[in-house]
Amino acid sequence: MSPTTPSDAVIAVVGSINADLFVRVERHPKPGETVLGTGGSMAQGGKGANQAVAAARLGARVRLVGAVGEDAHADLALALLKDADVDLSTVATTDAPTGLAIVEVDHAGENSIVVVPGANGAVDAAMVDAAAAVIRDAAVVVVQGEIPVDGIERAAGLCTGRLIFNTAPVPEGIDLDIVRAADPLVVNEHEGLQLLGQLDPPPTGPGERGHRDLEAAQVVQRLRDSGVRSVVMTLGGAGALVTERDAIVPVLAPTIDAVDTTGAGDAFVGALAMGLARGDALIDAARVAARVGAFACRAAGAQPSYPWAADTLPDV
């Protein structure tokens, strides 16, 4: 199949929906200090929404399970989901405000981010249960770490297809059996080390350094040895590492002039879900996902930068 071949299989994304507020400052303020900034623009965000848009723009059939508030931010947060034809019938409206991320960027490009979960905090086991039929019928179920732990665990429990667990961030107190059931578990280097520390606690004592000295490929191998079904570790511009049978295969990312890396990881996960839903092998899906993630870095923002099925992806 070509990178843009759609599938009749449904992807269910269970995750967060945000409105993002971007502010530029010369430097980050010190405690108690006020500084002047510029920008103040709003954009669509939330890992669940980002991943849903990424998959849908590539031609996948996507249903999103999440929540927004009864406020103006909800219209903004849902706009590009609607534009990509994501099924929003299982997005609930709650009394809490729509999730908000305040992104402060200084002159060097360093970010400081405050996330107010708002309605995303309502995506618990009970709300996920209300969408049980959608999740059970999906060929691929995608979850991340920006909703309550019991919502993640319930979604994984309802999944009868393939579970993609993007542990971003790593949820505190998550049932490790769900981590092991992920196929694949998608992590970056930091998240991989965090989870390995829970799945395979390092020895302690004087002189012990735990897992900190492990290279990325070693972390991936240890995660597999700890019972995780398959692993994809994203490495930014260096691509990714993917488990294939008993091997760890590097996936190269295209070389591009990056404008903005915001949401590139979510573009990768959405494209990965699309590939797996249409029956691609994990390594093949990851190769396309790396190209989609690179495409997303060539324009500002997250969802607005994602490719459509007709777009030409950069080559490695």
Element (H, E) at 277: helix 264-277
User: How many Å apart are CA 194 and CA 190, to the nearest integer?
Assistant: 6
**C-alpha 151, offset from chain centre:** 16
Place of tokens 């994990």: 282
In eight-state DSSP terms, residue 17 is: -
Neighbours of 26 (CB within 10 A): 11
Among candidate residues 150, 183, 266, 280, the one labeled active-site is: 266
Element (H, E) at 61: strand 61-69
User: How many Å apart are CA 57 and CA 295, to the nearest integer?
Assistant: 13
**3-class SS letters over 295-308:** HHCCCCCCHHHCCC
230 burial level (CB within 10 Å; 0-12, 13-18, 19+): buried
**Catalytic annotation on 266?**
yes
Place of tokens 């599938």: 7
Among candidate residues 294, 297, 286, 285, the one with its CA nearest the CA of residue 315: 294
User: How many Å apart are CA 64 and CA 53, to the nearest integer?
Assistant: 10
Q: Which residues are catalytic?
A: 266
